[in-house]
Chain A
Amino acid sequence: MLTVNNLTGGYAHVPVLHDVSFTVADGQIAGLIGLNGAGKSTTIKHVIGLLTPTKGTIAINDLTLQQDATAYHQQIAYVPETPVLYPELTLKEHIDLTISAYGLPAKETWAKADRLLAMFRLDNKLDWFPNNFSKGMRQKVMIVTAFMTDAQLFIIDEPFTGLDPLAVHDLLTIVQEKKAAGSSILMSTHILATAQQYADTFILLNDGRVRTQGSLAALKKEFGMTDASLDDIYMAMTKEPSAS
């Protein structure tokens, strides 16, 4: 479970987030929704520890980064918006390195990885360097290395851009498997139709503040739009006068 409490933060002298609070429960998929510049990526950077909050706390299963950075990071698997791979390592070695870094059992993890590799049609490219991969393939590599772990919190930044429809479908399947296994999933996205269909709860960010959080039903009630889709609610939010 991810708990973000009164988080205020941003870059050195540019505060981006103001008093952000939300939770993602075990076995829950949370959609982080907002315009460009609303603070989605900044929120994620705080959760993974790249940025340090000026106020507030972030805890995964009651453990904060300050208490034990290694144990904190052990609980996270992250798929960044832009894939980052090592130019000197083959696909197979990326998987070995991840196994090594997280201290995973090699045999069991390879079994999981093999299944994911086959799913994303990467199983015949184990000896390739990242240079030879297209952007979509690189993203799939990131997904494989993240989802073969037993993380408690999966953070996926804009997962659907650049993936082919088949891969989007497969990704949603494995996300739901992790959900069923009890992990928390935090997913930022602009693809509202997909988010509406798969996420259990939504965190609507506007100008660095949480406009509202809840299930689609709760959002409909909050905005007084009974028949609305997530898309309609989002449009309504963008038309509201800015809070700051």
Chain B
Amino acid sequence: MEPRKNYTVILADDDFDDAELFQSVLSDVAPQIKFVHVEDGSDLLRLTEKLLPDAVFLDINMPRVDGWQCLKQLRESAIGERIPIFMYSTSSHSRDQQLSKDLGASGFITKPSEIKVLQQVLTNITQKLLDGDGLAV
């Protein structure tokens, strides 16, 4: 199987610092993956109508359409059923982790303050993506 040439991940996060860090680390661990940043859930939903990403990362607290609504709508849409969706939030609350599972997210990532930790997390995820294993939904 010929590896796919283009991979795209989308991060929906209203925090530009976080988005920048995410991009920085992602380009370090997987430079071949295209990164798209949107500011909130509504932008993401609009984007996915034209673009099929390989993975989606959702912040929870966002203006207009928040992470939960976005997750729910994506999972109900045709494309959303097949792509991995990760919650990417500062929260470490068990309640949020449970909700994330209930709504069908592929994983819950607490935004780390250490780059090493984020590197580790993104390496694991992109490796699986690039290996073409697909990610468990």
Q: Do A and B bind each other?
A: no
